[in-house]
Chains A and B, each alone.
Chain A
């Protein structure tokens, strides 16, 4: 029923078969082999699944979600959106080689769009991408490093909470959600903004203290297992940007989910 493993075609050949790239004789040989080798029949199916990528209506919403995440999270593809000012790149815990820590601050008087632009420098982008993906792990969002001290920062906003996976006991968001960040010297107010991964702003607010309580209606509209991004901009007494944070990501993970 099976043949010697060493005679089996390679995965590349099965992909080429699925793409119709093989000459007739070679394609026939592969089909004949798969007919007598169960594991190669499986490999043929595997390659075909990839190449054909049949649309399954039941999962199209999930496909759209994944594509949106790829658009946002992959640095190469996030360039377009960043320059349009519609979406921010997914925060990286290794995206700030200059500071050596992720999600720290780097803004002064730039606008939201302008602070993102420097990342367009290709070398930095490639480096950040590599570092990000190598260090991101597979278990979920990386939390921020713990704050080093309790004092105010001078030219940046450091987001404290929520960041990364937030465990919840039920399959719903928690009963209370408060955004907290480190205070900034000279800030008169802070503008907080929450968005989804596609860049759609869900909520914003301007507050005096370095925390913002999310309204119940908004909190209840949030979905577990979905990533959200939030940012804070510190404003001076003329409502001019004084400093802002990089976006932080968080999501609510029901405790029954595996880590």
Chain B
């Protein structure tokens, strides 16, 4: 088995799509594995940086990054070459992150939960609203709430945090939220408005997305 070398391998000048093509010619060959290894290595740093923005710590980011490349390996046969490989890689990474955030949203111990509960008036239900929404319902709910309740910035922050898993510190940096609590204050106020929007929808005979008593979608 010849070693793979990123620096002097002729394939270093090859396009991503060319490497995918080379891999597909004979996936079981050493040449194919080398092509795939080279392709992966081109994106290790990019995926690592991206994962760190979404993860709670370095180990979590490592798991996320590894999960992305595992999914790439599983799904590579679906890459049609209609767009750049990097575009396709992004959609894979986005999908992995969405699934992880989805799972995390349903856990009972989110860091934000305490702040949200403190902000809720006594007697409100304790389950965070967003934990009862899958990604698509959250998206629809945010679109609806944007019309009457949410500010665009609140919707963006809620979407990136709850749907995609962006951390509060990263959101605070990305949106230059320099106040003491950063993005957390926006998340708390956004959730309260979202709750209000749900209550109005439920009371007005809407479709009940996230309305009290609807429970979490499967």
**A residues bordering B, Cβ < 8 Å?**
1-2, 5, 11-12, 15-16, 19, 21, 38-39, 41-42, 45-47, 49-51, 53-56, 59, 62-63, 65-67, 69-71, 73-74, 76-77, 79-80, 83-84, 117, 120, 122-123, 125-126, 129-130, 133, 138, 140, 225, 258
For A120, the closest partner residue in chain B by CB is B1
Q: Which chain A residues lie closer than 8 Å to B48 at the CB level?
A: 62-63, 66-67, 70
Known A-B contacts A1-B147, A15-B86, A83-B1; A77 and B41 likewise in contact (beta carbons under 8 Å): yes
Whether B61 contacts A122 by the Cβ 8 Å rule is: no
Given contacts A46-B160, A66-B48, list 10 more A-B pairs with CB under 8 A.
A38-B155, A49-B174, A50-B90, A53-B49, A56-B49, A62-B48, A67-B48, A70-B62, A71-B44, A125-B33
Query: B45 contacts A41, CB within 8 Å?
Result: no
Query: Are A15 and B33 in contact (CB-based, < 8 A)?
Result: no
Q: A74 contacts B69, CB within 8 Å?
A: yes
> Dominant SS at the B interface?
helix
Contact A79 B4 (CB under 8 A): yes
Q: Which residue from chain B places its CB closest to the CB of A60 in the assembled complex?
A: B49
* Interface residue from A21, A47, A84 paired with B3 (Cβ < 8 Å): A84
- Asked if A225 and B58 sit within 8 Å, CB to CB, the answer is yes
CB distance from A179 to the nearest CB of B (A): 23
> With the chains together, A47 CA to B59 CA distance in Å?
23
CA distance A209 to B150 in the complex (A): 68
> Which residues from chain A contact B37 at a C-beta distance below 8 Å?
76-77, 79-80
Instruction: Give the most central of B2, B44, B66, B90: most A CB within 10 Å.
Output: B90
Instruction: Let me know if B155 and A42 touch, CB within 8 A.
Output: yes
Residues of B within 8 A of A63 (CB): 45, 48-49, 52
The interface bits of chain B over 134-177 (1 if a CB of A lies within 8 angstroms of the residue's CB, else 0) are 00000110110011001011011001100010000000001000
The answer for the CA separation of A12 and B94 in the assembled complex, in Å, is 10
Is residue B133 within 8 Å, beta carbon to beta carbon, of the partner chain? no
Considering only CB atoms, which chain A residue lies closest to B63 in the complex?
A: A138
- Residue-wise, chain B 30-45 has the 8 Å CB interface mask toward A (1 for contact) of 1011101100110011
Please provide the chain B residues from 90 to 130 with a CB less than 8 Å away from any CB of chain A in the complex: 90-91, 93-94, 100, 109
3 tightest A-B CB contacts, nearest first: A38-B152, A66-B48, A133-B70
Interface residue ranges, B against A (CB under 8 Å)? 1-5, 27-30, 32-34, 36-37, 40-41, 44-53, 57-59, 61-63, 65-67, 69-70, 73-74, 83-84, 86-88, 90-91, 93-94, 100, 109, 139-140, 142-143, 146-147, 150, 152-153, 155-156, 159-160, 164, 174
- Given known pairs A15-B86, A53-B46, the reply for A73 and B147 (CB within 8 Å) is no
**The residue from B29, B32, B84, B147 contacting A2, defined by CB atoms under 8 A apart:** B147
Distance A16 CA – B91 CA, assembled complex (angstroms): 11
In the assembled complex, the CB of B185 is this many whole angstroms from the nearest CB of chain A, namely 18
Nearest CB of chain A from residue B147's CB, rounded to whole Å = 7
Within the assembled complex, what's the spacing in Å between the Cα atoms of A130 and B86? 22
Check B156 against A80 for contact (C-beta < 8 Å).
no
Q: Are A19 and B46 in contact (CB under 8 A)?
A: no
Pair B87/A19 contact, Cβ less than 8 Å: yes
Provide the bound-state CA to CA distance between A51 and B63, in Å. 20
Among A38, A73, A258, the residue within 8 A (CB) of B66 is A73
